[in-house]
Amino acid sequence: MKTIVLNTCNIRLLRTLHVFLIMMHIYCVYSLKLTVLHTNDMHSHFEQTSATSGTCLNENSCYGGFARIRTAVNLLIKKGLDQNRTSIFLNAGDSFQGTPYYTNFKWEVVADIMNIMGFDVMSLGNHEFDDGVSGLIPYINNLTTPVVACNLDLSKVSGLISTKLPKSQILQINGTRIGVIGYLTPETMTLSSTGNVQIFEEIASIQKEATRLTLDGVKFLIALGHSGYSVDQIIAEKIPEIDLVVGGHSHTFLYTGTPPLAIDIPEGPYPTTVVQSTGKRVPVVQAYAFTKYLGYIELDIDDDGNLISYGGSPILLDNTYAQDQEVLQQLLPWKNKLQNIIHEKIGKTRIMLDQENRACRLYECNIGNLIADAFVDFNALNYTGTGWTDAAIGLIQGGGIRSSINVSDNNGTIETQDLMLTLPFNTNMTKLILSGTDLLRVLEHSVHRYEETITGHVGEFLQVSGLKVVYNLSAQPYERVVDVQVLCANCSVSKYSPLDLNATYGVLVPVYLVNGGDGYTEFGNPISSTKCNVTDYQMAKDYISRRNFIHPDIEGRITFISKSTASFCSKLEISIITSLLCNFILILSNY
């Protein structure tokens, strides 16, 4: 056998070769270094906002806005190129609705600004249907970015054709084909105005498209859509071909570690890792809402499309990021048209009108009390019959209240733009006469899936006026109302008395709910129905203007109790005395 003698030169050569082979191995393993930048639920917040996503008046403490997003995206793309990373920019829907821009200019302003943002692919959100299919068609037709949705049946809507709204989009990136599959929550059919568009359950539809793309040789698949954090995790778990889920709808703030602002409380880690039954790890990401954060995740992908490593964090878009001048110039004509509309002063407050962290979707909120009271008040002012009114009850769903009004902004002065942010849908109001039985059913629907309200983006929880409601959330759905006290209408001295299932009650309610929005079928058979020809926004504006100074309180209109207290009360025969006794016990149980 021949002996090989390694001299110093040979050893150096082998070491060099070893290093070269390691570098080649790394190069082969990480054939694509991809950065995904993403936004969701921008809700027409074209301008920078306050920390609470309301109107920002202090230039040194503003966040987000489309111009700041574009600056950050451009900087991160350049940074990625310097590190041999390729970036894509995705949007997970709900660009419509939420500010005076959309209220006044609809799809036109959204398309105009979205077209200069540089998105690679977008999905639809439920609010893109708020003005019906007729409001969606011109938007999609005027976009320069592809919009994807795999679980829609467009066969009955000739204006929405699959070439403009495909199931997926393939991106060619450094020789790797990346598939982006769009999806939309089927709840859109009750949350918005989809007309003849049918929306199917997400999992089967995404699976079908994922299978098709995989057979076509696409090796890496991103699910991009608008169904909420909980559903996004199910998608990541159930569909073997999916490698990344980029979501929206639930306005979920994800963060690992200490968040940059104390008021932003993470609902999970960023990214959230879901492990499939095979052991495959799939990251799920979302970037809160209202342009405050930009989602950022780095992915290392091998030649076979396998995700080798990943990591990232949402980026707070504070004033360290300058606002992009091109976006500001594009927005300027629209902004100028708005000025005379949005700065009308309508009142003052010295307290926070609170809708932070989805407050009005979860419990009694003072801004909800204000709005519901405004409904009742407006009707009473125009009432000429006996008693003080014919409708002592006002209702509004928590999902219809979109923003706080911050006392620190503008020295407590409330302008029209503040109220437009709070009530952007400008929904027409209706006066219904309901039976006591139907009113009870309405209140049961309000909390029938309260658990989903906590974890998702459910909006049917009702804020009330003229009612005091007690719920036991440990009971079965549609058996959770323990006690209801109703303010009298045909009376000279206002007082509350127990709900009478055989009596009739006048109720002021947004037409959105009357038409079945948020799944409310209980309003469908009223004893009578009268259109008010006034919107929720107009009623609230009138109420604040006439009072000038407002300070709505939390008054105990909505109470949650324990199972034991509910059991005691349910055994009592309903009467004025027992109702008073129950309420006394309920008060004690909350101390």
Instruction: Output the six-digit token pair for 349.
Output: 């407050």
Q: Which residue type is seen at 518?
A: D
What SS3 class is residue 169?
Answer: strand
Mean pLDDT, rounded, for 284-294: 98
Residues 339-375: tens digit of each pLDDT: 988 989 999 998 999 887 789 999 999 999 999 999 9
Complete domains list, the chain, with CATH: 34-328 (3.60.21.10), 345-589 (3.90.780.10)
Strands 121-123 and 220-226, by their bridges, are: unpaired
This prediction has a pTM of: 0.81
Q: Which residue type is seen at 114?
A: M
Residues 146-185: tens digit of each pLDDT: 999 999 999 998 888 767 899 999 999 998 999 999 999 9
Sheet holding 413-415, edge to edge: 413-415, 345-349, 549-550
Alpha-helical segments (H) within 398-514: 416-422, 436-446, 450-455, 511-514
Strands 242-246 and 220-226, by their bridges, are: parallel
Instruction: Output the six-digit token pair for 550.
Output: 């407002």
Mean pLDDT, rounded, for 190-214: 96
Residues 81-114: tens digit of each pLDDT: 999 999 999 999 999 999 999 999 999 999 999 9
Q: Helices 325-342 and 66-82: crossing angle, nearest 10°?
A: 170
At 55 the pLDDT is 84
At 452 the pLDDT is 85
Mean pLDDT, rounded, for 488-507: 96
d(CA 257, CA 268): 10
Whether residue 311 has pLDDT greater than 70 = yes
Mean pLDDT, rounded, for 193-208: 97
At 563 the pLDDT is 64
Give the confidence band of 299 by pLDDT, cuts at 50, 70, 90.
very high
Give the number of other CB atoms < 10 A from CB of residue 49. 22
Contact indicator for 334, 341 with CB cutoff of 8 Å: no
Q: Which residue has the higher pLDDT, 9 or 161?
A: 161
In 295-324, which positions are buried (b, 16+ CB within 10 angstroms) versus exposed (e)? bbbbbbbbeebebeebebbbbbbbeebebb
Residues forming beta bridges with residue 283, ordered by sequence position: 273
At 27 the pLDDT is 44
At 571 the pLDDT is 43
Whether residue 568 has pLDDT greater than 60 = no
Strands 462-465 and 528-535, by their bridges, are: unpaired
Alpha-helical segments (H) within 115-228: 132-142, 188-191, 202-215
Mean pLDDT, rounded, for 219-240: 98
Alpha-helical segments (H) within 30-99: 66-82
d(CA 315, CA 322): 14
